Structure 1
């Protein structure tokens, strides 16, 4: 549980760092804005599944007009995940969750694997965003776990 909590704390930190880099770059790249919004919405979707709520009303790939709304989503996600994880017992990590994906296909996955999906999914897309920032001659965000762990 300690590792998952630490990795989730890294996720909250890294979400903020990538938003800071996007804001600093002043990018108008709609694909990057869509991608960072996708990460925020995916976090909401997975938490909803963990809580036994439906997710069909969430659109994973809508355009984002600006980063303010996305930052608000990330901040709300962090708070809701903190509450969820604080109430989670080690023994509950291997409980199975039944849910439907956005296409209505049924799945059954452990709480542990869902949390790892959230952690790894965000890191994957932050890497994509950083690469695009570098190509656009903007400064990418340092979001490596080790950088966070050294704080």
Structure 2
């Protein structure tokens, strides 16, 4: 549990750093903003599944130019994940969650694997976002776990 909690704290921290880098870059790249919004919405989708709520109302790939709305989504996600993780017992990590994906296909996945998906999915896309920032000659954000761990 300690590792998952630490990795989740890194996720919140890294999301904030990427958003700051996007703000500083003043990017208008719609694909880049769509990608960062995708990360926020995907976090919300997985949290809904963990809470045994539906996720069909979420659209993963909508376009946006509103970075402040994305900030708000990430802040809400952080608050809700912190509550969820704080109440989660280690014995519940292997509990299976039944859910339907965004295409309506049913699946069953453990809490542990869902949390790992959230963590790894975000890190993958933050790397893509940093690459896109570099291509725009903007400063990328240092979001490696070790940077967070050294704080």
Question: Normalization by structure 1: what TM-score?
Answer: 0.99
> Could you report, residue by residue, the CA deviation over 1:98-129 in whole angstroms, capped at 9, with x for unpaired residues?
00000000100000000000000000000000
What are the equivalent positions in structure 2 for 1:2-151 lying under 5 Å apart? 2-151=2-151
Residues in 2 aligned to 1:139 and 1:27: alpha-carbon distance in whole angstroms: 11
Structure 1 runs (4+) greater than 6 angstroms displaced? none
Structure 2: tracts of 5 or more residues without a match: none
Whether the 8 Å CA contact 2:25–2:138 is kept in 1: the answer is yes
> Could you report, residue by residue, the CA deviation over 1:30-56 in whole angstroms, capped at 9, with x for unpaired residues?
000000000000000000000000001
RMSD (CA atoms): 0.4
Residues in 2 aligned to 1:20 and 1:122: alpha-carbon distance in whole angstroms: 16
Residues in 2 aligned to 1:40 and 1:145: alpha-carbon distance in whole angstroms: 19
Structure 1: tracts of 5 or more residues without a match: none
